[in-house]
Amino acid sequence: MTFTTKALLVLLTLSTAACTRPDRFGGGVNDTTGANAGAGAGVTAPTGAADPSSPQFFAQTIGDRVLFEVDSATLTAAGQATLDGQAGWLQTNADYLAIVEGHADEQGTREYNLALGARRANTVREYLISKGVPANRLRTISYGKERPIEVCSEESCYAKNRRAVTIISVGALS
Amino acid sequence: MLKWLLSAVLAAGLAGPALAQDGPLRLTITDGVIEPLPFAVPGFQAETAGAEQLAADITRLVAQDLANTGLFREIPASAFISTPASFGAPVAYADWRAINAQALIGGAVAVSGDQLVVKFRLYDVFAGTELGEGLQFAGTTQGWRRMAHKVADAAYSRITGEGGYFDSRVVFVSETGPKDARQKRLAIMDYDGANLQFLTDSSAIVLAPRFSPRGDRVLYTSYETGFPRINVLDVASVGKQQLATAEGEMAFSPRFSRDGNQVIYSLANGGNTDLYRTDLASGAHTRLTSAPSIETAPSFSPDGGRIVFESDRSGTQQLYIMSANGGDAQRISFGEGRYGTPVWSPRGDLIAFTKQNAGRFHIGVMRTDGSEERLLTASFLDEGPTWSPNGRVLMFARETQGAGGTSTLYSVDISGRNLAAVPVSGAGSDPSWGPLQP
């Protein structure tokens, strides 16, 4: 209970515009309590997002997502900088695995957007591998346009939905 | 079919020339059909005590099926000069000609316990003759809607010379919840939205169900394993199992061959999406495309020899046709914008597609060589057409704009007329229209 309160407080302080809604529904890999329990075994403090080795720190401070241009899977300069940080974190925290989720905005047909999301997720995976993250710690998935985080039908929302999000996970990637 | 055509022609010849129409009653479905054909359906006779309500319901549904096509116009009962004394009694053609009813539908309903018998006759009023022979359908009272649809299919078919589509079902994705937390589950319903049933729960994302040609199975994409995989669902038992596809990170966009023995689909590996085919009996996999571009949304030609699909190999999403064994593909879409979700008509003559251009989405059709492109709809987001069993009507999903956007099923005929929302309760997407039921 105390942990939850503390984590929430830190979360509120650190997250401004960042969306705290999980991208995955019911998959378990985004279960921060579980991830934290695994990483923080025997350690009492610091916890949550203040702990540089926590998935929360990865998501909020390193940055868990990169954005793409319309119908593109090419990394932007900003995206590459974020991924450099992700690669460094994943190398430091070698116990973690990651799933890269590719997403598209609603301006496209369903099947094409699934394929486009797969392309985006793979671009991120390849980049992380090129920066030294072992390939067997990275898996990809595409949600196409199924899981938007912003709901307006304007470019301001579309820009945030055209994303690849690196979800930190513990346990085997089966 | 040939038999009744001949008899209809013969009867018309004998009836003499003093008629308001040339030859037998025939509505040819073309782009030029603007004036709906007027028909009359006097209430079906209740031949047993207690059959009155069902007789009235069946009469209404037959009239509704026909009128909703946009090809026919029902003459209201208030205009009738006389009504038939009994089923099969001599028809007072003059009374029907006087109100310009070109087709007259007569029927009778008998109920015994839960058993229902529906009889039907169709008359060519201006020829003064019966069009085709009387038909009788027997079943249970529970299945009354299907029997009404069968009567309407028979009338439609006799007048147009083409197959009907009323006694058919649609499988689709039923949607609830806001855009950023949408819940999806598979659902099945009659073509007119009645008899809605859910086939899966909403615990995992489900996408793009596709009926088998006989309507006994449904392919769809499910995230229930955590990753997109193709499932095969048996409609009768609602049992499902994962399709053993070729090896890949994601499998999606499946569709049956017309014999139901093969499945074509997309497989993503290393971020690249290509087309594969799996033979259901042997389990053998064939890779159909090997390109660094996106290849997806495949659909077989009715003869099974070719596949239409979408690819961005030219730089943008376009439509291509290739042999069902893979190999070289020919691009068929050349207009402005992007083209996706091609579906081959069951008649073989047209490809329906989704087109995206200048910030709008369209449902359209083109010939299989890409000529004669026609856009049938336009909106913020129209997507994913599916053909009626007779290849005359398309159903698709229309999503509204903005934070409160929801998806609704619509239908439109292939001339672009008669656009209407399918009266299904709740939001829906990804419809797949099944075959005429036996």
pLDDT in tens, B66-81: 999 999 999 999 999 9
CB < 8 Å from A in window 5-34 of B: none
Q: What is the pLDDT of residue B35?
A: 86
Give, in order, the Cα–Cα distances in Å from B356 to each of A6, A100, A172, B364, B381.
48, 28, 41, 10, 9
Look at residue A13 in the predicted model and tell me its pLDDT.
Answer: 33
Q: What does A61-117 look like in DSSP terms, one character per residue?
A: IIISEEE--TT--PPPHHHHHHHHHHHHHHHHSTT-EEEEEEE--SSS-HHHHHHHH
Chain A residues in contact with B296 (beta carbon < 8 A): 111-112, 114-115
For residue A105, give the nearest of A152, A140, A137 by alpha carbon. A152
DSSP B369: T
Residues B326, A87: Cα–Cα separation, whole Å: 39
Region of B358 (left: φ > 0; alpha: ψ -120 to 50; beta: rest) is: left
Chain centroid offset of residue A117 CA: 14
Beta bridge partners of B158: none
**B84 within 8 A of B42, measured Cβ to Cβ:** yes
Least confident of A47-61, B41-55, B188-202, B299-313: A47-61
Q: What is the pLDDT of residue A45?
A: 46
**Which residues 6+ apart lie within 8 Å of B396 measured at CB?**
B354, B363, B377, B382, B383, B384, B385, B386, B409, B410, B411, B412, B431
**A31 band by pLDDT with thresholds 50, 70 and 90:** very low
Whether residue B208 has pLDDT greater than 50: yes
Q: Which of B435, B383, B377, B390 is nearest to B409 (CA)?
A: B383
A112·B310 Cβ contact <8 A: yes
Would you place residue A171 in the very low, low, confident or very high pLDDT band (cuts 50, 70, 90)?
A: low
If you average pLDDT over residues B297-304, what whole number do you get?
97
Flag whether residue B348 sits within 8 Å of chain A, measured between CB atoms. no
Exposed (0-12), middle (13-18) or buried (19+): which is B87, by Cβ within 10 Å? middle
Residue B110: CB atoms within 10 A of its CB come to: 19
Kindly list the residues from chain A whose CB atom is less than 8 angstroms away from the CB atom of residue B381: 106
> In which band, very low, low, confident or very high, does the pLDDT at B24 lie, cut at 50, 70 and 90?
confident
- Residue B228: its chain A contacts at CB < 8 A? 114, 141-142
- Nearest by CB to residue B383, choosing from A109, A115, A119, is A109
Report yes or no: B315 at the A interface, CB cutoff 8 Å.
Answer: no
Band (B27; pLDDT cuts 50, 70, 90): confident
The full set of domains in chain B, from first to last, is 2-160 (3.40.50.10070), 168-436 (2.120.10.30)
- CATH number of A2-9+28-169, picked from 3.40.1080.10, 3.40.190.10, 3.30.1330.60, 3.40.630.20: 3.30.1330.60
B425 pLDDT band, cuts 50/70/90, is confident
Nearest to A153 among B228, B317, B402 (CB): B402
pLDDT at residue A42, rounded to an integer: 37
C-alpha to C-alpha distance for B34 and B14, rounded to whole angstroms: 30
pTM of the model: 0.88
A124-130: average pLDDT: 98
Chain B residues touching A108 at Cβ < 8 A: 340, 356
Say which residues have a Cβ less than 8 Å from residue B52's Cβ, sequence separation at least 6.
B46
Task: Label residue B128 by pLDDT band (50, 70, 90).
Answer: very high
As a whole number, mean pLDDT of residues B10-24 equals 39
Q: What band does A23 get if pLDDT is binned at 50, 70 and 90?
A: very low
Q: Chain A contact for B310, CB < 8 A?
A: yes
pLDDT of B11 higher than 50: no
B2 versus B147: the higher-pLDDT residue is B147
Which of B42, B88, B87 minimizes the C-alpha distance to B63?
B42
Confidence tier at A11 by pLDDT (50, 70, 90): very low
CB-CB under 8 Å, A119 with B294 = yes
Separation CA B96–CA B93 (nearest Å): 5
Written in H, E and C, the secondary structure of B10-37 is HHHHHCCCCCCCCCCCCCCCCCCCCCCE
Q: Give yes or no for residue B385 having a pLDDT over 80.
A: yes
- B6 confidence band (pLDDT: 50, 70, 90): very low
More confident residue, B29 or B317: B317
Q: Which two tokens stand for residue B238?
A: 């609602």
Give mean pLDDT, residues B377-405.
97
Q: What is the pLDDT of residues B157-204, one digit of tens each?
A: 999 999 999 999 999 999 999 999 999 999 999 999 999 999 999 999
Shortest distance between the Cα of A46 and any Cα of chain B, in A, equals 32
What are the tokens at B219?
A: 């392919």
Interface mutation vs chain A, best among B210, B252, B357, B430, most A CBs within 10 Å = B252
Put simply, whether B65 touches A (Cβ < 8 Å) is: no
Average pLDDT, chain A: 79
Please give the Cα distance from A71 to A68 (Å, whole number). Answer: 8
Rg (CA), chain B: 24
- Mean pLDDT score across all residues of chain B: 93
Q: Which 8-state DSSP code applies to residue A137?
A: G
Asked if A26 lies within 8 A of B204 by C-beta distance, the reply is yes
The residues of A whose Cβ lies within 8 A of any Cβ of B are 21, 25-27, 29, 71, 73, 106-112, 114-116, 118-123, 125-126, 139-143, 146-153
**Chain A CB contacts of B402 below 8 Å:** 151-153
Contacts across the A-B interface (CB distance below 8 Å): 112
- pLDDT for the residue numbered A68: 98
Q: Is the pLDDT of residue B107 over 60?
A: yes
Gyration radius of chain A over CA positions: 16
Helix (H, G, I), strand (E, B) or coil at B149: helix
Residues of chain A with pLDDT > 90, as a percent, come to 68
Report DSSP state, residue B78: G
CA distance B219 to B235: 10
CB contact under 8 A, A118 and B227: no
Q: Cβ of B4: how many Cβ atoms within 10 Å?
A: 18
Closest residue in chain B to residue A149, using alpha carbons only: B180
If DSSP codes are grouped into helix, strand and coil, which group holds residue A158? helix
CA distances from B164 to B75, B169, B189, B428, B436 (A): 21, 13, 17, 24, 8
Type of residue found at B12: A
> In this prediction, what percent of chain B has a pLDDT beyond 70?
94
CA distance readout (Å), A68 to A85, A156, B271: 18, 13, 15
Tens-place pLDDT, residues A54-113: 999 999 999 999 999 999 999 999 999 999 999 999 999 999 999 999 999 999 999 999
Tell which residue, B395, B364, B393, has the closest CA to residue B378.
B364
227-246 of B, contacting A, C-beta below 8 A: 227-228
pLDDT for position A62 = 96
Question: Is B180 within 8 Å of chain A by CB?
Answer: yes
- Cβ contacts of A145 on chain B, cutoff 8 Å: none
Q: Do B227 and A112 touch (CB under 8 A)?
A: no
Smallest Cβ distance to A109: which of B182, B354, B401? B354
For B398, the closest chain A residue by CA position comes to A109
Confidence of residue B422 (pLDDT cuts 50, 70, 90): very high
A152–B402 CB contact, under 8 Å = yes
Q: Compute the C-alpha angle B328/B319/B380, nearest 5°.
A: 165
CA distance B211 to B340: 19
